[in-house]
């Protein structure tokens, strides 16, 4: 065990005033600093928020007895302030992330989805890599709300998201375009790879159980999907969204429950 591990384990400051003299009574190995020379003094303090450890601050010296009680108190104070700053930053990031999310399904909202398409296309231009966009619409979604109630309608939306997230990479983005329509941004994915994802989403939906509020099985949702790929079908993000959306509407007009590719 090292001194850092000791601070983490005990969640209390650790002060070493003269390592050579104290070594035999410590459950640690010798410390090597910036040069091939062991440190003789060391202070480590945890950065705590309540009972949560966020990190630690440590200072070392090649000289023994380099730090006194005032130094330890100062480092402890700095660690406390740093912990508060980190916690505030973390909560700020969490709030920002929540504003990007759709409250019902947990996927990104319309605005962030558009930003993601633009960002991925910009990166695709720089890296000379494709970006595929799938626009997906739940077929005849209104019947679930009208026939079985909004609770079942909401469950259908969540099932769609579950089916999508099962078949995409962590680097891909899912967003709710609005209502019962979703967008799936596939980084570094060709049209054929996007078509394979769309097919697997349909297969997964076909296998997922769906029940009404009484627990009775009801018809499973189907989806229509349109696919477009940068740079094959569009040279910019705005056009990519437009042609994918047109492909989606072609799928709906031609009978629903199918996938259509732009162009």
Alpha helices in the chain (DSSP H): 3-10, 19-22, 69-99, 110-127, 142-148, 150-165, 191-207, 237-253
DSSP-assigned beta bridge partners for residue 137: 181, 224
Half-sphere exposure of 253 (CA within 13 A, CB side): 8
Q: Check: CB of residue 252 under 8 Å from CB of residue 220.
A: no
Residue 224's closest CA among 254, 200, 204, 190?
254
Measured between alpha carbons, how far is 141 from 253 in angstroms, rounded to an integer?
15
Residue 6's closest CA among 22, 28, 24?
28
Q: Check: CB of residue 136 under 8 Å from CB of residue 195.
A: no
Q: Check: CB of residue 223 under 8 Å from CB of residue 182.
A: no
Strands lying side by side in the sheet with 181-187 = 173-178, 181-187, 131-138, 223-230, 259-261
Is 180 known to be catalytic? yes
Catalytic residue among 40, 155, 180, 181: 180
Structure tokens at 132: 């595929």
Count CB neighbours of 24 within 10 A.
Answer: 6
Cα 222 to chain centroid distance, Å, stands at 27
Residues forming the active site: 180
């Amino acid at each position: 065990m090292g001194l850092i591990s000791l601070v983490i384990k005990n969640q209390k400051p650790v002060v070493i005033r003269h390592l050579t003299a104290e070594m035999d009574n410590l459950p640690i190995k010798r410390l090597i600093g910036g040069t091939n020379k062991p440190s003789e003094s060391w202070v480590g303090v945890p950065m705590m928020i309540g009972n949560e450890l966020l990190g630690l601050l440590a200072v070392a010296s090649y000289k023994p007895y380099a730090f006194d009680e005032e130094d330890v108190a100062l480092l402890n104070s700095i660690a406390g302030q740093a912990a508060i700053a980190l916690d505030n930053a973390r909560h700020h990031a969490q709030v920002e992330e929540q504003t990007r999310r759709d409250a019902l399904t947990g996927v990104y909202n319309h605005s962030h989805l558009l930003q993601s398409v633009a960002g991925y296309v910009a990166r695709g231009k720089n890296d000379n890599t494709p970006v595929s966009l799938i626009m997906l619409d739940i077929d005849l979604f209104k019947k679930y709300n009208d026939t079985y109630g909004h609770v079942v309608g909401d469950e259908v939306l969540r099932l769609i998201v579950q089916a999508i997230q099962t078949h995409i990479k962590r680097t891909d983005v899912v967003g709710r375009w609005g209502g019962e329509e979703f967008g799936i941004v596939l980084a570094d994915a060709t049209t054929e790879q996007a078509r394979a994802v769309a097919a697997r989403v349909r297969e997964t939906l076909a296998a997922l159980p769906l029940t009404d509020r009484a627990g009775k099985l009801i018809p499973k949702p189907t989806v229509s999907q349109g696919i477009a790929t940068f740079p094959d079908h569009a040279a910019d993000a705005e056009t990519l969204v437009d042609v994918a959306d047109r492909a989606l509407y072609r799928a709906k007009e031609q009978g629903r429950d199918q996938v259509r590719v732009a162009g």
